[in-house]
Structure formats: structure tokens, C-alpha cells
């Protein structure tokens, strides 16, 4: 019984280390930009997230929109946040479909941190505060588009 529990703990540690690898590798480099975001989400089984923000890159500001779907999701929330952007080579590379790139965590007081990565290798470390109640039991992704 003890050996079985030890195997589970070791497996969990390996999974956590692998999931945190993109977060650690991005932190080794300096952030290329920053972002601010505000939006919301609502769900009853299938959830929808929306919002807008501003990317600051090379002392220029680029407004963007966010949309996303999730499943096994319940609740309504207002989201405010900020983050650091890594591996950004041009503003155009910021647009894309982002998925979880590491282990996220919920903080006391309704906040959370997450690492997201798009198909261009751009990584966002996002820190948010949430008002309302929301439960999400599945991975989800978001689509980010620069406004023209």
C-alpha cells in the first residue's frame, strides 16, 4: 500500500514538473511585452469567455479582443487581469489560439495565475482577479485577435 502511494506521488510530481516547464523556460528570458485585460464569462455546461485588452510591445499599444469556449463549466464571473508576454517577435505573432501551457493556480481572494501559449510560441503569464462564482472542470482555450 505504501509503495502504491509513493508511485502516485512520484507520478504527480513528474506531471507537475512537465506542465511547469513552459512557464520556467519563459521566465528564464525577459518579457517582450505586457498586457492588461478585462472581460467576463458565463456558463451553464458550455461556457463562453469574452473581453478586450491592450498589449504593450516596444513602447506601442495594440488593442485586442478575446473570445473562448469551455466545457463542463458553470457560473458567471467578471475578470480583470494583467500579464507578461514572452517569445513575441512581432505584434502579429500575438494573435492566435491560446491553450494552457503550464500549471495554473487559484489564489486566495478569487485571483488566479495561468500560463498560456499560442501556435506561434508566444507565452502569456496571466494574473487575474475574478468576481463571481465559476467552476471549470476541463481545459479550455481562448482566441486572441489584434484589433485593426
Dump pLDDT digits (tens) for 20-38: 444 444 456 899 999 999 9
E strands, 12-140, where? 33-57, 60-86, 96-100, 105-106, 111-117, 123-136
> Number of folded domains in the chain?
1
User: Cβ(136)–Cβ(114) under 8 Å?
Assistant: no
How do residues 53-80 score in pLDDT, each as one tens digit?
Answer: 999 999 999 999 999 877 656 677 788 8
Domain boundaries, position 11: 2-146
pLDDT of residue 104: 59
CA dist., res. 120 & res. 125, Å (int): 15
Report d(CA 83, CA 90) in Å as an integer.
17
Q: How far is the C-alpha of 69 from the C-alpha of 45, rounded, in Å?
A: 11
Supply the pTM of this predicted model. Answer: 0.71
pLDDT tens for 90-145 read: 999 999 999 987 655 555 566 778 899 999 999 999 898 776 655 554 556 889 99
Amino acid at each position: 500500500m505504501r509503495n502504491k502511494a509513493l508511485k502516485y506521488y512520484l507520478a504527480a510530481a513528474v506531471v507537475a514538473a512537465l506542465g511547469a516547464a513552459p512557464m520556467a523556460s519563459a521566465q528564464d528570458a525577459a518579457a517582450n511585452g505586457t498586457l492588461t485585460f478585462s472581460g467576463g464569462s458565463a456558463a451553464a455546461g458550455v461556457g463562453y469567455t469574452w473581453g478586450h485588452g491592450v498589449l504593450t510591445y516596444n513602447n506601442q499599444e495594440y488593442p485586442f479582443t478575446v473570445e473562448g469556449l469551455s466545457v463542463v463549466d458553470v457560473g458567471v464571473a467578471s475578470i480583470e487581469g494583467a500579464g507578461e508576454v514572452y517569445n513575441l517577435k512581432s505584434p502579429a505573432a500575438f494573435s492566435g489560439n491560446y491553450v494552457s501551457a503550464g500549471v495554473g493556480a487559484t489564489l486566495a481572494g478569487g485571483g488566479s495565475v495561468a500560463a498560456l501559449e499560442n501556435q506561434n510560441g508566444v507565452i502569456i503569464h496571466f494574473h487575474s482577479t475574478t468576481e463571481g462564482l465559476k467552476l471549470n472542470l476541463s481545459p479550455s482555450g481562448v482566441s486572441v485577435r489584434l484589433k485593426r
